[in-house]
Amino acid sequence: MKQNYDFKIDKINDLSPEEVSLRKKNLDLFYQTGFPNKKNEDWKFSDLNSILNNNFNKIVNNDFLPIETEFKIIDEFKHNFISLLNGKLISNDFSFEEKNKISIDNFTYKNELSLGSKNSLYFLNNALATGGFSLEISKNYKLKKPLVIYNNFSNSLKETLINYKNSIILNENSELNLINYINNSSKENFMVNTIENIKIKKDSLLKNILVNNSKCNGYFYKYIKSDLEKNSTFENYLLPSGFKFNKLDIEINLNEENSNSSVFSALNLINNEHQEIKTRINHNAPNCNSFQKVKNVLNDESKGVYQGKIFVKNIAQKTDAYQLSKALILNDAAEFDAKPELEIYADDVKCSHGSTSGSIDLNSIHYLKSRGIPEKEAYQMLINGFLSETLEKLSEGKIRYFLTEKLERQINGH
Amino acid sequence: MLNIKNLEAIIDNKHILKGLNLDIKPGEVHAIMGPNGSGKSTLANVLSGKNGYEIKGDIKYNGESLSELSTEERAQKGIFLAFQYPLEIPGVNTNTFLRTSVNSVRKAQGEKELDTLTFLKLIKEKASELGIDEKFLSRQLNVGFSGGEKKKNEILQMKLLQPKLSILDETDSGLDIDALRIVADGVNSYKNKENAFLIITHYQRLLDYIKPDYVHVLSNGKIIKTGNADLGVQLEKTGYSNIV
């Protein structure tokens, strides 16, 4: 196996000797296996090692200076924001909120070796991460406006790997609408490896939206670990179209009664883009609900993957878990792989899954064309109709409208 | 307006149309009647440009050969087919669809596209003429519509697109008597000297409301008899078996 990467811990500024030593241990653990490949069951359909080998001459890490950068603010709806450049926290603005209810700071790196993950990207992140943020919402506080996280990246990140960690904590009875907005149109290949830890305490609600604004040559991996307490809700709306490669690895732990989670994803893949949504929903307590709807449209030689696992612990009676994957395959050279998994140890549960893939309905295309609509537009309308359904459950009208327009742009080629 | 000469259509090795001739002039209403399997819907599909048919013979529309036009070009040039089974299209908003359709046709005809407000005004007016509840317009296209609602939606599209040649394929099927009257009124109010209709139907019923100038009997892929409106009435009494 060709090793085309060269990672150096001494590139990272201001580390104590203990940190250096722990990071070195993590780097060694990474080097034992290298980037994940298809021999690893979790990466069976997304052989990251060969994808990187085929698209990068070398990969290096770097520590970035937090530099103020100009970026376009979303003007479709009023919002608070945090801005990041290459993973470093640059600025924040919570002018719609009570200041003492929100805490935002740089992520503090604790000296951790591993959180029990077998994934080598986790070790790599432990070894090399810099930047990222910690966000905490106070008890009984519901943000008046959504929070947009502007994820900006320099256009000069050629063959560079960025690693960072975020932490988001919603204390009891709090609410946050979070929009991860990725904005980069770099032609250079770069990679981003993010680990995000989310804690949703009792009676709280987090809506987590991810939307990519432009096409770029980025290779993204994000691992989200979330823990939910009693009566809490975690909704995800994912619109990541436009990356060269992306894998969203989402772990949701429904740890206490009456907690709810949902994952809605809409992807339109073109050229040789490759994206994977991987979820693991752990029903660890009774009376919890989880819902997943993953929709993919595959053009050209693109590849889409959905691996969705639902785990129901023996005490998690009255679990209601559902997952559905639907794919439209528009070209013979495109590929979609779905691997649903149910692992159930309780006997009084409702768990179901479904997976369909097929081609676009030519009779519908004919119908639209017979009304004077050109063929290309007819296809776009049907694709848009297929994907936009994933946004129906989002109750915030302005955000939904904004996302619908972004999705339309993603479908019509950015 | 439409001149069909010796039209043959073959699909999946089945010879459906076997030498059909038909001439339609502006201002005329033609009805094609015939038993099941005689090729009525195939004729509608072929005229709309549906893929999958092997075509022989010649179809001229205002002097232009239809075979060279794509489905969308035919629509843009004024050919409209009201579908026997209008398709349900999930996720596509009826309003958005109608506006895209009207503006695609306007654009192709070199006219200015309608802005949202002008369009909304237009559609409200046309929808109320057909007794279509505005709520339908914000629903997904034909999804969960009753048979009658779907057919009314087809006529609404016809009135918005203002075609020169309207082909109504079994538009009366699935309609109750009130819906039938509304649909027929919609057609009659649009009828003028410039445009023409080709009404494909199994039953005389619709022709009680929309008076045809010519009635043709289609059997086994050919028109075997042509007459005036009385022919339809006669068919209703005697059935097809006495003729075909």
ipTM value:
0.95
Q: CA geometry: angle at B165 spanning B159 and B168, to 5°?
A: 70
| Owning domain of residue B54 | 2-87+148-155+162-242
- Backbone torsions φ then ψ of B34, nearest 5 degrees: 170, 160
Question: Is B87 in Cβ contact with A364 (below 8 Å)?
Answer: yes
Residue A411 to residue B12: CA distance in whole angstroms: 35
Between the CA atoms of B237, B239, B242 and B244, what dihedral angle is there, to the nearest 10 degrees?
Answer: 140
Q: What single-letter DSSP state applies at residue A213?
A: -
Question: What are the C-alpha distances in Å from A410 to residues A85, A304, A388, A400, A407?
Answer: 23, 16, 11, 15, 5
Tokens of A48: 């990251």
Nearest residue on chain B to A361, alpha-carbon basis: B89
Q: Is A381 on the interface with B (CB under 8 A)?
A: yes
User: Can you tell me the distance from the alpha carbon of A85 to that of A154, in angstroms, rounded to the nearest whole number?
Assistant: 7
Q: Mean pLDDT throughout A274-286?
A: 98
Cβ–Cβ of B71/A377 closer than 8 Å?
no
Confidence of residue A269 (pLDDT cuts 50, 70, 90): very high
List chain B pLDDT tens, one digit each, 244 residues. 999 999 999 999 999 999 999 999 999 999 999 888 899 999 999 999 999 999 999 999 999 999 999 999 999 999 999 999 999 999 899 999 999 999 999 999 999 999 999 999 999 999 998 888 888 899 999 999 988 899 999 999 999 999 999 999 999 888 888 888 888 998 999 999 999 999 999 888 889 899 999 999 999 999 999 988 888 888 888 888 777 6
User: Is B107 a domain residue?
Assistant: no
Domain assignment of residue B114, yes or no: no
Of B75, B90, B140, the CB nearest to A371: B75
pLDDT in tens, A78-107: 999 999 999 999 999 999 999 899 999 999
Angle between helices B147-161 and B116-129 (to 10 degrees): 130
CA distance B58 to B20: 10
- The answer for B 127-156 residues in CB contact with A (under 8 A) is 140
Residues B151/B181, Cβ–Cβ less than 8 Å: no
pLDDT at position A396 is 93
Tens digits of residue pLDDT in A33-60:
899 999 999 999 999 999 999 999 999 9
Share of chain A above pLDDT 70, in %: 97
Number of compact structural domains in chain B: 1
- Interface test with chain B among A362, A373, A379, by most B beta carbons within 10 Å: A373
* Overall size of chain B counted in residues: 244
Using the beta-carbon criterion (under 8 Å), do B140 and A385 form an inter-chain contact?
Answer: yes
Q: Which residues of chain A are within 8 Å of residue B90 when distances are taken between CB atoms?
A: 385-386, 389
CATH assignment of the domain containing B53: 3.40.50.300
| Amino acid identity at A115 | L
Q: Which residues of B touch A373 (CB under 8 A)?
A: 72, 100-101, 104
Scan for tokens 């979070």, then name that residue. A178
Q: Are A211 and A184 in contact (CB under 8 A)?
A: no
Question: A364: helix, coil or strand?
Answer: helix
The DSSP call for residue B205 is: G
Residue A382's closest chain B neighbor by CA? B92
Q: Would you say residue A328 has pLDDT above 80?
A: yes
B141 in any annotated domain:
no
If pLDDT is split at 50, 70 and 90, which confidence band does A1 have? Answer: very low
Chain A environment of B51 (Cβ under 8 Å): 362, 366
The answer to whether B63 faces chain A, any CB pair under 8 Å, is: no
pLDDT at B202: 85
In a domain, B103, yes or no: no
> Which residues lie across from A162 on neighbouring strands?
A192
Please determine, for residue A3, whether its predicted confidence score (pLDDT) is greater than 70.
no
In chain A, whose CA is at the least distance from the CA of B100? A373
B123 in any annotated domain: no
Which chain B positions have a beta carbon within 8 Å of A368's beta carbon? Answer: 89, 97, 101
Put simply, whether B32 touches A (Cβ < 8 Å) is: no
Tell me the three state secondary structure of residue A122. helix
Is residue B104 included in any domain, yes or no?
Answer: no
Q: What is the reported pLDDT for A206?
A: 98
A373 at interface of B, judged by CB pairs closer than 8 A: yes
Please identify which residue in the block is written with the tokens 């017979």. A370
Give the position of tokens 């087809």: B154
Tell me: the pLDDT tens digits for A186-215?
A: 888 999 999 999 999 999 999 999 999 988
% of residues, chain A, pLDDT over 90: 86
Q: Mean pLDDT over all residues of chain A?
A: 94
* CA proximity to A4, closest of A43, A51, A41, A46: A51
Question: Is residue B10 in a domain?
Answer: yes
* Residue of B76, B83, B100 lying closest to A377 (CB–CB): B100
Q: Which helix (H) or strand (E) holds A131?
A: none
DSSP state letter for B139: S
Q: Is B89 on the interface with A (CB under 8 A)?
A: yes
Rounded Cα–Cα distance for residues B36 and B13 (Å): 19
Q: Radius of gyration of chain A from Cα atoms?
A: 21
The verdict on a CB contact (< 8 Å) between A374 and B87 is no
HSE value, Cβ hemisphere, 13 Å, CA-based, for A128: 30
**Matching residue, tokens 């010649």:** B58
In B, which residues are within 8 Å of A362 by CB distance? 51
**In 3-state terms, what secondary structure has residue B147?**
helix
- Checking if the pLDDT of A291 tops 60, the result is yes
Please give the pLDDT value at position A413.
Answer: 79
For residues B144 and A364, give the distance between their C-alpha atoms in angstroms, rounded to a whole number.
16
Q: Which two tokens stand for residue A80?
A: 């608070």
Q: Residue A63's pLDDT band (boundaries 50, 70, 90)?
A: confident
Q: Can you give the pLDDT at residue A112?
A: 62
Contact B91 A362 (CB under 8 A): no
The answer to whether the CB atoms of B89 and A382 lie below 8 A apart is yes
Contact B191, B212 (CB under 8 A): no
Three-class DSSP category at B30: strand
What's phi and psi for A274, nearest 5 deg? Answer: -140, 120
| Burial class of residue A98 (count of CB atoms within 10 Å of its CB; 0-12, 13-18, 19+) | exposed
pLDDT digits (tens, 9 = 90+) for A144-181: 999 999 999 998 889 999 999 999 999 999 999 999 99
Residue B202 lies in a domain: yes
**Does B173 touch chain A if contact means CB atoms closer than 8 Å?**
no
Q: Which residue of A has its CA nearest to B105?
A: A372
Handedness of CA A108, A113, A116, A117 (dihedral sign): positive
Cβ neighbours around A228 below 10 Å, total = 29
Tokens of B143: 């999804």
| Beta carbons of B90 and A389 less than 8 Å apart | yes
Q: Dihedrals φ, ψ of B148, to 5°?
A: -65, -40
Mean per-residue pLDDT, A346-359? 95
B75 and A363: CB-CB below 8 Å? Answer: no
**Residue A21 and residue B72: Cα distance in Å, rounded?**
68
